[in-house]
Structure 1
């Protein structure tokens, strides 16, 4: 089941968090590059979106560990196999180490760290069967440059980098690569809503990088698509910052 010709022709890719934002943008990019896709999200709109893209959709809660094996098996059956996985779904809640509740901690780590492990665990056997595979985890620049009052988010994304490296080392010689991308501030619908509510904070976030603007979902998707395909065949266990140069500086830029 291939939708065209391009750098991802013949790839069968599962994408979580695919009902909007970076996940949906990546799904569209992968289809445009020739891949067959399975879109996964708790939002039931994912079923219609998948149909529009000529893919398959699964409206499931990725934090329910029982959904990963069955979803991957069904995706493999419908796509003819699975050799790509993009763990895009994410959650962010405010709170420092004292004021973060157990419920918030458990939720954020379940979405941002445990789910990528569970879905990778379910996907890797299919990749081994295919003789190749690429996993891309969407982390955050917060994994290397902590955000204030975001302890659960920072911790989960930092752990995701460790998961990425561990999978790369354990399965690289069996044809499976694992890499991550760490976006800075990306202008998605979610962020635009946030910026309308908090214009001063949004202006400061824009000033944290050296591109003079926010990033776009298309820019993140392009990097993810590259890592999912054969063109990045010698890239393994690496994190790519997509942050406009924010992490390159040893000082914080001027405050708007």
Structure 2
């Protein structure tokens, strides 16, 4: 595990971000960033020595505010976990412009802006670890905008690596994770398989980041199926068909 590092974690009040904080706290200087003030308070009650910063990253200038706060107490950042993000479950036909723009902003633009500021402001080596998603490779019915935003982040990272060495950039591709993510995305929505524990994802992220990996796949099942699908390309359509049946059932449910 990492020790003696200065670490920023966004989306830190719940889910994967909260597990990252728990695992890294105590042996590192950690700044937990989130929009959820009550969640940050609960985190600080649990870990009294943790430093928190409440901000809505969707507002203009919010990313810079995080850096301004950091640089008042630290000379630099060793690891920045850009983990904040959200989704909206439902038919692509029902997606409204404001929601789609917010999804792309938090999942694609905010990590890009973070990378730009890090490259301009850092005088010491750093690593930016961005939480992407398995849907960057395999889109899932019901998550049209979310899948598109994560695929955009994936291609953005590939383009950055094509322009420069970019050995400072890591993307993480979790499968479905057992967190409050689903309840925030919609009511009674089905979970795509396979489903992982948030702690398992966080452990994989930390280990992969420490090793300097460019891509981290926390789910062994997804990574294996992704490789096997190259030989047997019918696997992905079958998987998407099964997930589509879940989606259609949800769409027809009166309790959605």
Pairwise TM-score range, normalised by the shorter structure: 0.7 to 0.9
- Gaps of at least 5 residues in structure 2 are 230-234, 247-256
Structure 1 moving runs of 4+ over 6 Å: 192-196, 253-256
Structure 2 length normalisation: TM-score? 0.78
CA distance in 2, matches of 1:56, 1:88: 17
Q: Call closer, same or farther: CA 1:170–1:18 in 2, change over 3 Å.
A: farther
Unaligned runs of 5+ residues in structure 1 are 1-6
1:90-105 counterparts in 2 under 5 A?
A: 90-105=85-100
Q: Name 1:9's counterpart in structure 2.
A: 3
Of 170, 177, 202, which residue of structure 1 is paired with 2:168? 177
The residue matched to 1:93 in structure 2 has which SS? coil
Offset from partner CA, 1:118-177 (integer Å, 9 cap, x none): 2222233343x12x111111111111011113221011000111233344455646xx51
Cα distance between partner residues in 2 of 1:90 and 1:63: 10
Q: Is the 2:86–2:181 contact (alpha carbons within 8 Å) kept by the matching residues of 1?
A: no
* Offset from partner CA, 1:51-98 (integer Å, 9 cap, x none): 725232111011123121232132133244212111111111134443
What count of residue pairs does the alignment treat as equivalent? 230
Structure-2 residue corresponding to 1:28? 22
1:124 matched residue in structure 2: 119
Give, in whole Å, the separation in 1 of the partners of 2:137 and 2:148: 10
Structure-2 residue corresponding to 1:226: 207
Is residue 165–residue 179 contact of structure 1 (8 Å, CA) maintained in 2? no
What CA distance in whole angstroms lies between the structure 2 residues aligned with 1:143 and 1:121?
22
- Go from structure 1 to structure 2 and tell me whether the alpha carbon gap of 1:94 and 1:196 turns closer, same or farther (over 3 Å shift): closer
